[in-house]
Amino acid sequence: MAKSSRENGPRAPAAGGSLSGTRESLAQGPDAATADELSSVGSDSEANGFAERRIDKFGFIVGSQGAEGALEEVPLEVLRQRESKWLDMLNNWDKWMAKKHKKIRLRCQKGIPPSLRGRAWQYLSGGKVKLQQNPGKFDELDMSPGDPKWLDVIERDLHRQFPFHEMFVSRGGHGQQDLFRVLKAYTLYRPEEGYCQAQAPIAAVLLMHMPAEQAFWCLVQVCEKYLPGYYSEKLEAIQLDGEILFSLLQKVSPVAHKHLSRQKIDPLLYMTEWFMCAFARTLPWSSVLRVWDMFFCEGVKIIFRVGLVLLKHALGSPEKLKACQGQYETIEQLRSLSPKIMQEAFLVQEVIELPVTERQIEREHLIQLRRWQETRGELECRSPPRMHGAKAILDAEPGPRPALQPSPSIRLPPDATLLTSKAKPPKQVQKEQRRTKASGQLDKSPGPNQATVVTASGDACPPQDVPPKDPVPQDSAPQDLAFHHSQESLTSQESEDTYL
């Protein structure tokens, strides 16, 4: 799917001419006749008089090409349990990625709950970290006018992206506006790459699950980390991966590999749309979502596995090859795949069990790169190395960590006084006060067991009995106080060491 700024189809003339690069210009619809032709049905369909159309749980119009029939329904109780587990993972993401990444991979293979899929994709792809590292960047790009060369092409492609989904059915609807904003922002973010038509379905799928700003940063991660070089001008990366796919096919299905070799069918003829759109335009929608769940977690090896499974089951037996006598018949066989091999449960299980690893892909990549350099010279596009999944991306670009705040082990009431080594404990102060009072009363006592109490008016009251007290030697008191003080300090220090 090559980059192009040529005419790709009929274009609806805008009321005020071509797009100026702002989303408001999208809302300016064409004339009435063209509006009836382009305006379809869906969430924006109430304004178009199509409110009676039924929408499936994915947002597609029931009965349209994108809608599906009978689906595998997850029991509600199981779904709630999965949601609870995913909420715990997302709220403690760094801990889970560091210590329990295999568990995350298993849960992605089972399928992310629909209510948390958009949030999970952001965490898995590193789009959330990118957003935190670049606050306000998308708004800045969104307010910029953009390059007219790319704006014209983007505008023509908008109505082709999932035209039977409720978000993208009508011109000027919120879905097409956000899609225009995301694609335009990427042309400004990476002006050396510009816009490639295969980016539109990727961005559209992301917008079905998250707002425009988050979708933009996830698109950046897909283009730069998962599939680097796929959307460059020469499409060199996709050509290399086509050769890698064909080489891996020899080990997975020798029958299919031999047939394609005999027919001299270049891999680009059947795998370009598969890989560049991540099967968003090939598989049933439930299968697309399950593949994307695993893709964001494990990386491009999932795309290779899906392609190998489709080739194996479409061309991997002599019976199936009877209808593929020539190039044309073989290509048609791959374009109209059997619904059975694309069915969600069957396809996902086959993908999980297929033994194709990152190491094998990288080994084949080096082999094919060496052959490329021997026959064609050096690559013109120097794309960064791709990351094989969420773990590799997180290790390469760790998210910002909050500064550690001191948290005391022992919490005191607000009115409490913090004891120091020089301060005397309250109990010690009370004992000293009682001893001082007792000493004074003994000096003024009329008898050994009596004391005279003077009232506020100055009258003397009858003597009252006072319990006898042992006299405290003055020279021994400082030693006792010092000893008691040292014991208190030691106990406080031991307690502090124990908590810390």
What does the pLDDT look like over 413-426, one tens digit per residue? 666 665 554 555 55
Residue with more model confidence, 485 or 441: 441
**Token pair for residue 206?**
């992301």
With a cut of 60, say whether residue 202 has pLDDT above it: yes
Q: What angle do CA 184, 35, 210 make, to 5 degrees?
A: 40
Least confident stretch, 61-75, 135-149, 320-334, 353-367: 61-75
Distance CA 307, CA 416 (A): 69
Residue 235 binned pLDDT confidence (cut-offs 50, 70, 90): confident
Segment 283-298 mean pLDDT: 95
- Band of pLDDT at residue 409, cut at 50, 70 and 90: low
Q: Please determine, for residue 231, whether its predicted confidence score (pLDDT) is greater than 60.
A: yes
- Model's pTM, two decimal places? 0.72
- 266: left (phi > 0), else alpha (psi -120 to 50), else beta? beta
Model confidence at 200, in pLDDT bands (50, 70, 90)?
Answer: very high
- Helix and strand element counts for the chain (H, E): 26, 2
Find where tokens 């090939």 sit.
Answer: 282
Give percent above pLDDT 70 in the chain.
Answer: 68
- CA–CA dist 419, 492 (Å, integer): 9
- Closest by CA to 1, choosing from 355, 255, 238, is 238
Encode burial over 152-174: b for 16+ CB neighbours within 10 A, e otherwise: ebbbbbbbebbbbbbbbbbbbbb
Per-residue pLDDT at 185:
96
pLDDT given for residue 53 in this prediction: 74
**Looking at residue 287, what is its pLDDT?**
95
Residue 39 backbone class (left: φ over 0; alpha: ψ -120 to 50; beta: rest): beta
| pLDDT tens, position by position, 383-392 | 788 889 999 9
- Residues 121, 128: Cα–Cα separation, whole Å: 9
Q: Which residues sit opposite 454 in a β-bridge?
A: 460
Mean pLDDT score of the chain: 78
* 165 conformational bin, left if phi > 0, alpha if psi -120 to 50, beta if neither: beta
- DSSP codes of every residue in 353-404: HS---HHHHHHHHHHHHHHHHHHH-S-S--PPPPP-SHHHHHHHSPPPPPPP
Measured in residues, the chain has a length of: 500
**Residues ≥6 apart with Cβ < 8 Å to 26:** 19, 155, 158, 171, 172, 176, 177, 180
Cα dihedral sign, 272-277-282-286: positive
pLDDT (average), residues 129-153: 93
Specify the pLDDT at position 395: 87
pLDDT at 489 over 50: no
- What are 16-60's pLDDT values in tens digits? 334 444 433 444 443 433 333 333 334 454 444 445 678 888 888
- Residue 465 gets which letter from DSSP? E
Per-residue model confidence (pLDDT) at position 438: 62
Torsion angles phi and psi, residue 338, rounded to 5: -65, 135
Exposure of 337 in the CB half-sphere (CA atoms within 13 A): 24
Query: Residue 445 has what pLDDT?
Result: 47
pLDDT score recorded for residue 42: 40
Does 479 or 360 have the greater pLDDT score? 360
More confident position, 286 or 410: 286
**Could you give the 3-state DSSP secondary structure of residue 451?**
strand
Structure tokens at 244: 């890698």
The yes-or-no verdict on residue 87 having pLDDT over 50 is yes
Query: Terminus-to-terminus CA distance in the chain, angstroms?
Result: 62
pLDDT tens, position by position, 423-477: 555 566 566 667 766 665 545 544 544 444 444 444 445 544 544 445 544 444 4
347: closest CA among 299, 308, 395, 309?
Answer: 309
Question: Is residue 99 scored above 60 in pLDDT?
Answer: yes
| Confidence band for 361, pLDDT divided at 50, 70 and 90 | very high
Q: Is the pLDDT of residue 116 over 70?
A: yes
